[in-house]
């Protein structure tokens, strides 16, 4: 049997502790599958004496993660610290420079520095593995990089943030406001005290940038992604979507177009009949459209200690077996530059909610502005009756109107809405949610 694989784990929080427990619990099975023993030989953490439910007395402790990464005591470095800079970046760079393979769950680090880290791993002939960086326990990285190597991918999209999916699910099922559901998610630990990174769509964007590179052979480009969060989604939108046969999900979408690769993150209307619409709560899902397999959807836990640890340990097992794949499927030097595709070039259907004033000819003006730009309307729905704002009888009356368009372009929709706003026929800002094709 081969020499044991000595693993160093930096970061013993929820995921790091779960990785150590899983390696210990599955030690015999992993030895049988990989042909060698896998041992935790070193650890680094802020609180060395904290109880973590696993015996680490035989592992050397390092107060500095970079020292652990450079130590001759370990062969494989596992980074579970988090963050694009600081100790996470320094320790991963140190490990690779010292010829050690690296496993990480750090999507922010990969989004910002993945290309350079991949090049360094290739130069040193070691592995850089990151299955746990996207969609937790779902094996989406291996699926794109290896399982679908014989496919040409047209589109990859999915629910990549459990916090947002939980909030939108609760809004629909319990008829609660966005603010109520966010507060509940924070109480349950699904959302941070400052939830901006999740609800603003930035976490999804980091993960999407990794999937785009794997799917289309492009350099990671998180700043080439158009990002919108779920902050403006209201209960009225959720209810209207349900009546029209849709659900609202925050999706990360990357797709091949005639102009190049389009990347976008935004609230999206999806047909209730689709597989991804059935995914509720904190669960994640990724759908891949490819030429040979057509449509493939993977669903599973997108976060949590055990689920993420499962993906980390899968990467450790691959490295123990001697598996060395190019981190992004092809050599980093062969990855193509990715140009930003302006969102205004996007084409598809749209849900538009307007608060329309009770003035003569308002509906005709709205329809006219759409027709001027050849935007075809599939349906127009008036929700409720005209009501006055507040309690003042002199206040202007208004009503909520929903437009569903046939396929059109983003810039035409925006131009039409700018003209409608200038006409003075609506109150406040229009709500626009894109409809994703099946």
Catalytic annotation, residues? 207
CA distance 418 to 10: 52
Q: 3-class SS at 262?
A: strand
CA distance 202 to 212: 15
CA distance 106 to 128: 12
CA distance 188 to 167: 12
Please list the residues that pair with 79 across neighbouring strands: 10, 104
Q: Which residues contact 252 (CB under 8 A, 6 or more apart)?
A: 157, 158, 160, 204, 205, 207, 208, 211, 225, 263, 264, 265
Q: Tell the burial category of 209 from Cβ atoms under 10 Å away from its Cβ (0-12, 13-18, 19+).
A: buried
Q: Which helix (H) or strand (E) holds 16?
A: helix 14-25
Q: 3-class SS at 335?
A: coil
């Amino acid at each position: 049997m081969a020499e044991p694989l000595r693993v160093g784990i930096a970061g013993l929080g929820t995921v790091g502790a779960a990785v150590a427990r899983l390696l210990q619990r599955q030690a015999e099975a992993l030895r049988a599958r990989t042909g060698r023993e896998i041992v935790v030989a070193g650890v680094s953490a802020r609180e060395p004496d904290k109880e973590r439910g696993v015996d680490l007395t035989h592992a050397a402790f390092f107060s500095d993660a970079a020292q652990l990464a450079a130590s001759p005591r370990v062969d494989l470095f596992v980074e579970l610290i988090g963050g694009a800079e600081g100790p996470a970046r320094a320790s991963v760079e140190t490990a690779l420079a010292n010829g050690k393979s690296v496993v990480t769950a750090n999507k922010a680090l990969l989004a910002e520095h993945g290309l350079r880290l991949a090049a360094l791993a290739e130069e040193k002939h070691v592995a850089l593995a990151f299955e746990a960086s996207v969609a937790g326990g779902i094996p989406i990285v291996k699926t794109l990089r290896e399982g679908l190597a014989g496919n040409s991918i047209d589109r990859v999209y999915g629910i990549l943030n459990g916090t947002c999916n939980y909030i939108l699910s609760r809004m629909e099922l319990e008829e609660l406001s966005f603010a109520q559901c966010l507060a509940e998610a924070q109480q349950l630990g699904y959302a941070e005290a400052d939830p901006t990174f999740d609800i603003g769509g930035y976490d999804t964007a980091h993960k999407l940038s990794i999937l785009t590179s794997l799917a289309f052979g492009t350099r990671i480009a998180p700043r080439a992604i158009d990002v919108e969060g779920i902050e403006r989604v209201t209960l009225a939108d959720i209810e209207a979507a349900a009546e029209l046969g849709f659900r609202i999900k925050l999706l990360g979408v990357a797709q091949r177009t005639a102009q190049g690769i389009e990347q976008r993150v935004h609230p999206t209307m999806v047909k209730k009949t689709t597989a991804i619409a059935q995914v509720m709560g904190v669960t994640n899902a990724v759908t891949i459209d490819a030429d040979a397999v057509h449509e493939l959807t993977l669903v599973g836990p997108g976060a949590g200690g055990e689920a993420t640890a499962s993906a980390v340990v899968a990467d450790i097992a691959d490295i123990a077996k001697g598996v060395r794949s190019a981190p992004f499927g092809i050599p980093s030097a062969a990855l193509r530059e990715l140009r930003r595709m302006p969102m205004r070039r996007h084409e598809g259907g749209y849900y538009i909610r307007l608060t329309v004033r009770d003035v003569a000819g308002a509906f005709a003006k709205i329809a006219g502005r759409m027709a001027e730009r050849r935007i075809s309307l599939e349906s127009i729905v008036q929700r409720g009756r005209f009501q006055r704002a507040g309690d003042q009888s002199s206040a202007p009356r208004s009503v909520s109107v929903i437009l569903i368009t046939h396929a059109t372009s983003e810039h035409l929709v925006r131009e039409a809405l700018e003209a409608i706003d200038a006409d003075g026929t609506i109150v406040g800002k229009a709500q626009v949610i894109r409809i994703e094709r099946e």
